[in-house]
Amino acid sequence: MKIIFWAPFGIRPKGTVIARMVPLAAELQASGHEVVIVAPPYTNPEDSGKTEVVRGVRLANVDLGPKHKALAVPFLAWRMLRVALKEKPDLIHLFKPKGYGGIAAMLLIALQTLGIRTPPLFLDTDDWEGEGGMNELHDYGTVEKRFYRFQEQWITPRALGVTVASRGLEHLVGQMEVQRDHLLYLPNCVAAATAGDGQAVRAGLGIAPDAPVLLLYTRFFEFSQEKLHFIFAEIHRQVTGVRFLVVGKGRRGEEDLLLQSARESGFDAALVMAGWIAPEAIPDYLAAANVAVYPFADTLVNRCKCPAKLTEILLAQVPVVADRVGQISEYIDDGRSGILCDPDDWHQMVDRVVELLKAPALQQRFGGAGRAHLQENFNWGAAAGSLHRFYLSTLQGGAPAHPQGRG
């Protein structure tokens, strides 16, 4: 089959396209399909109108319209639809039911409602976008929030099939009366990876080769900043020579809050803020750690997320202490491939991290088991096989995800 993947934004610098769409597309192509990713590159406008090949997959960046966001909407949506239809695909798979791609999908559904023959639409969702979801984490205006919420509620039941990245999303989409056989649980997965050069990163950051290093790979918004500050302060008090390696960038100055807390609590000399790191360098930074901590508040957004950063850490064989929230419980077999904690018990997370930092043999055991559990249960090859079968079975059924969806 020929398949179009509609991307929610450009391939740089955000991670969804690289972390989810490209691996799926590459595996589908390896099994005989042809996949083309169509992206609105407003995140990387220098690529407007350019076509590139990523991991053997053709990626078409549509021409950007006017610079004003509101004026650009119809231009980008129409161009995404036009480029997709020109490819004459057997199906179109939209990633995220919002934004420019979401409007292109709404146009496609409108054409279908008018009786115009167009490729069937599939939808992938890896976040809850509307009420209580990602809307609350962005500085969208009131009208924009309402529109994104409407898109999620309107597009989802009108797609022929829906793929979801987490059990939390599986439950919420199921509440939209989407038929069970038109819904596929498709979590973020991993592929084979080469070991990173952690010692080179340590040397570059001034961290001693034998120093115990605790990694935080994050975007900061998934947890209480006060909890993070408490955890670091307590661990610093209990583990001699510990270094905190923080990889990632916040949205609202969380790094400054952490630096301020470090000065006040006395662990500023132990804190290494690496900031945003290019994707190709991430394995080296992960390999520099002995243990990783993954705090995750018990919120609707987090229960629906499928944290790709966690899969990267586990794949790098870094033992993880994480909060028992949502998809994390699928990725970590507690006590065997990692350690799960009560998200409200801050002391428990501190105790388990300290225990691991002081036990190299335990680090090695959990690190190896974490990677093995991930590769056995969450690999892109198997995921693409499941998606292929889902396409076939759903196309044969020929009905929308919700019987009343096209009404």
Q: Is 107 left (phi over 0), alpha (psi -120 to 50) or beta?
A: alpha
* Span 258-287, pLDDT tens digits: 999 999 999 999 999 999 998 889 999 999
> Helix, strand or coil for residue 162?
strand
The strand ranges marked E within 318-363 are 320-323, 339-341
Q: How far apart are CA 36 and CA 86, in angstroms?
A: 12
Q: What angle do CA 46, 135, 332 make, to 5 degrees?
A: 90
**What pLDDT was estimated at residue 66?**
72
Q: Which domains does the chain have, with CATH numbers?
A: 2-187+380-397 (3.40.50.2000), 198-377 (3.40.50.2000)
**What pLDDT was estimated at residue 403?**
52
pLDDT surpassing 90 at residue 11 = no
Q: What angle do CA 284, 24, 396 make, to 5 degrees?
A: 165
> Helix, strand or coil for residue 78?
helix
**What pLDDT was estimated at residue 193?**
79
Among 64-68, 141-145, 342-346, name the one with the lowest average pLDDT: 64-68
Q: How far apart are CA 80 and CA 69, in angstroms?
A: 16
Confidence of residue 133 (pLDDT cuts 50, 70, 90): confident
Q: Parallel, antiparallel, or unpaired for β 51-54 and 57-61? A: antiparallel
Among 67-81, 212-226, 271-285, 293-307, name the one with the lowest average pLDDT: 67-81
Q: Are 316 and 217 in contact (CB under 8 A)?
A: no
**DSSP type of residue 163:** E
Structure tokens at 34: 């042809």
Length of the chain as a residue count = 407
- Establish whether the linkage from the previous residue to 13 is cis, with ω within 30° of 0: yes
- Cα→Cα distances 244→10, 181, 249, Å: 32, 46, 15
**What pLDDT was estimated at residue 252?**
86
**DSSP type of residue 7:** P
> Helix, strand or coil for residue 339?
strand
E strand or H helix at 5, and its extent?
Answer: strand 2-6
Confidence of residue 399 (pLDDT cuts 50, 70, 90): low
**What pLDDT was estimated at residue 400?**
64
CB half-sphere exposure, 46, CA atoms < 13 A: 2
Q: What is the DSSP secondary-structure string of 15-70? A: SHIIIIIHHHHHHHHHTT-EEEEEE--TTSGGGTT-EEEETTEEEEEPPP--SSHH
Q: How far apart are CA 113 and CA 319, in angstroms?
A: 51
Give the closest residue to 316 by CA, choosing from 193, 211, 191. Answer: 193
Confidence of residue 131 (pLDDT cuts 50, 70, 90): confident
Cα dihedral across residues 122, 125, 129, 132: positive or negative = positive
Q: How far apart are CA 303 and CA 133, in angstroms?
A: 10
Sheet arrangement for strand 34-39: 51-54, 57-61, 34-39, 2-6, 91-95, 121-125, 161-164, 183-185
